[in-house]
Amino acid sequence: MIIKAPSRIHMSLIDMNGSYRRVDGGIGLALQEPQFILEIQKTESGVTLEFSDEVIDEEAIEECRIKIPEAAKAAMDYFNIDSGFHFIVHQTYPPHSGFGSGTQISISAAHLITETMGIEVESRELSSIVGRGGTSGIGTYTHDLGGFILDGGHSKEEKPLFLPSGASEAKPATLIARYDFPEEWNILIAIPEIEKHMEGDDEVDVFQTYCPLPKEEVEQVSHLILMNLVPFMIEKDIKNFGWSISQLQNVGFNKLEHSLDDSYLPTMKAIEDAGAYGVGISSFGPVLYTIFDESNEFIVEKTREIIGDNGTVFVTKAQNHGFVIEK
């Protein structure tokens, strides 16, 4: 049995202030590429792991070596499963890059176990079992549903502290809305070459040191999402949708990210100046993204010139459905 799970871009957290009795919240989008592809085989006992010849990224391999056994054990303990499982990783993508690999790896491993054992369970519950989704629900819901996701975060009673998903014990965020993303829109992914990823204790330090953010900024983020980005997406107004993405870089948590590491800003500005309708960063990066259609296809080559030979540029589309299991 094989599971194919979409990557995602995380476009913005919403409320890292908490004055209105809720925290977190976010928007994001499932991508057709890259995919996480994992195979499972039932064995007598234990959890074993191997990698296909195509998987060569050492950071991705190390992340799988940690997260797959952890998620498998959590699921096996929760459902009192005493048989074993052998996993084969066929395709993955770089960790701590903005694609959401951690959540997809963990939920996919648990999902394969429950499918193998005939256990019916929702992805939201699986996400909680394997310890994901404690800040953002984007990874959980793109895994399950695909498309454009808007989640409502957590009540302050459930989650009184500002923490990233990997350090939070809160249940996955509440789903507010899910939309099909326009099929005719393309997504350009640009990954500049960088030396350091934001992860682990670094993320915890950012949340605990700099939050709560100013109340007026999270109000601006909420307005930009509710009255600009989402309506423009529904109306298929690509230019104003792109404008909304750029505006979101200037307020709230995205603004904080750029203030802590402004190395992406010249590249983002260069891509926008070259004709992009708006440029955003996914999570803490390094993944940058813009949306384009036939009216500005030239932005692909322009971006390749800007990123250079040491970075990565490719075109994908939104995936308007969730994971796929092949038996």
Q: What is the pLDDT of residue 189?
A: 98
- The structure's pTM equals 0.94
Q: How confident is the model at residue 169 (pLDDT cuts 50, 70, 90)?
A: confident
Q: How confident is the model at residue 167 (pLDDT cuts 50, 70, 90)?
A: low
Residue-level length of the chain:
327
Residue with tokens 């994971």: 323
pLDDT of 201 over the 60 cut: no
pLDDT of 10 over the 80 cut: yes
Q: What is the pLDDT of residue 210?
A: 87
Q: How confident is the model at residue 135 (pLDDT cuts 50, 70, 90)?
A: confident
Distances (CA, A) of 248 to 96, 229, 322, 325: 21, 9, 26, 35
pLDDT of 12 over the 90 cut: yes
Peptide bond preceding 69 in cis form (omega within 30 of 0):
no
Domains of the chain: residue spans and CATH: 2-179+320-326 (3.30.230.10), 186-316 (3.30.70.890)
**Rounded mean pLDDT, 107-123:** 96
pLDDT of 140 over the 90 cut: yes
Q: What is the pLDDT of residue 54?
A: 95
Q: What's the CA gap between 148 and 183, in Å, rounded?
A: 12
Q: Are 211 and 177 in contact (CB under 8 A)?
A: no
